[in-house]
Amino acid sequence: MLRQYLLLVRAPNLFTVPSNILTGYYAITPVGLTDIGALLLLVVSSIFLYMSGIILNDYFDIEVDRRERPNRPLASGRIEKRIALVIAVISIIIANIVALVVGFTTLAVSASLTCAIIAYNYRLKRNEIGNPLTMGLARFLNVVLGGSPALGLVIIVHQDYALLVFIGCCLFLYTAAISILSRKEIAGTKISFAYFWIPIFLSFSIVSFTIVLILTVGLLGYFQIWFIFNLIIFSCVMTATFLLLIMKLRKLTKTPAEIGHRKENDIGLTEEGAQKNRSSKASREIQLAIKIMILSIIVLDSVFLSGFLGIAPGMVILLLVIPPILLGPRLYVT
């Protein structure tokens, strides 16, 4: 039963939260003024908020999941809908109480993030424009949550505020790119490469633009030069992810006339059955790309942290990708 609750909260995804908080925190707080207690509380608050958002996502999508993802904990009935709602509400309450312990400014940011989470799951997730914007806003606010203890302090200069906003905007753009691609996670029964081309192009363009922005700001001297090493890693992961996705989808969406014969595992299927089979495979490829992009939030955060703290801390943060990679085969991410 524990596995069902871990599936419900997308346990592997939770490891992308601490890196957001650390990035926001050190964007605006000097290393010498680190408050370990406050930092840990920020991470706890953020994790509970993320959990609530994931649970509410499945709560409001339960009818869709019963058709398209019947094995999920809520859709299958292994976890009652009422219990899931209670867990989500309790998580929100705990998150905001913990935020209050840190300070009123942190509570204000936490409350704003709570509103974004509820608005997304209740209404905006089905809107083509509202979906990526709200998802991006949630990550932006999560970064700001990390920097919230220092907001308003006289020791912080305008440049620090600008850097915090810049990093938040980078996470906003990257998360929006994930959201745009995820709208094609469930493919139709009749698929074509054109069906996937626009979201793939938009998503990759946004990611590329984000990389160029970071490189430009870094080379202007706002980051230590070490950020380039982590940015190269992030850029390589993104390029490989999109290239492999395009190649696999192009192959899957070829018609029998284009390839001259059916794939071996499509032999014996009707044309409709073959289409469904290819559609299912295309969905899995999209889901794999989304999974890599979600976990690469940690890699993106490591770019900023290496720019603030040096190459060693930036590389250490990358270790956060290990637990979700190990959990991935047992617990889904998307």
* pLDDT, greater one: 159 or 114: 114
Minimum mean pLDDT among 25-39, 42-56, 141-155, 222-236: which range? 141-155
pLDDT of 32: 86
In this model, does residue 286 exceed pLDDT 70? yes
Inform me whether the pLDDT recorded for 44 exceeds 50. Answer: yes
Confidence of residue 140 (pLDDT cuts 50, 70, 90): very high
pLDDT score for 229: 96
Mean pLDDT of 290-306: 96
- Three-class SS of the chain: CHHHHHHHCCHHHHHHHHHHHHHHHHHHCCHHHCCHHHHHHHHHHHHHHHHHHHHHHHHHCHHHHHHHCCCCHHHHCCCCHHHHHHHHHHHHHHHHHHHHHHCHHHHHHHHHHHHHHHHHHHCHHHCCCHHHHHHHHHHHHHHHHHHHHHCCCCCCCHHHHHHHHHHHHHHHHHHHHHHHHHCCCCCCCCCCHHHHHHHHHHHHHHHHHHHHHHHHHHHHHHCCCCHHHHHHHHHHHHHHHHHHHHHHHHHHCCCHHHHCCCCHHHCCCCHHHHHHHHHHHHHHHHHHHHHHHHHHHHHHHHHHHHHHHCHHHHHHHHHHHHHHHHHCCCCCCC
pTM reported for the whole predicted model: 0.89
Domain borders along the chain are 2-327
What percent of the chain stands above pLDDT 70? 86
What pLDDT is attached to residue 257? 46
Confidence of residue 192 (pLDDT cuts 50, 70, 90): low
pLDDT digits (tens, 9 = 90+) for 74-91: 988 899 999 999 999 999
Which of 212-216, 284-288, 323-327 has the highest average model confidence (pLDDT)?
A: 212-216
- For residue 259, the model assigns a pLDDT of 45
- The band of 201, judged by pLDDT with boundaries at 50, 70 and 90, is very high
pLDDT of residue 162: 87
Q: Quote the mean pLDDT of the chain.
A: 87
240 is written with which tokens? 């490989």
Q: Is the pLDDT of residue 171 over 90?
A: yes
**Tens digit of pLDDT for each residue in 208-240?**
999 999 999 999 999 999 999 999 999 999 999
Q: Is the pLDDT of residue 299 over 80?
A: yes
Q: How much is the pLDDT for 84? A: 94
Give 296's contacts (C-beta < 8 A, 6+ positions apart). 234, 237, 238, 241
For the stretch 259-285, pLDDT in tens is 444 445 545 555 556 666 777 787 888
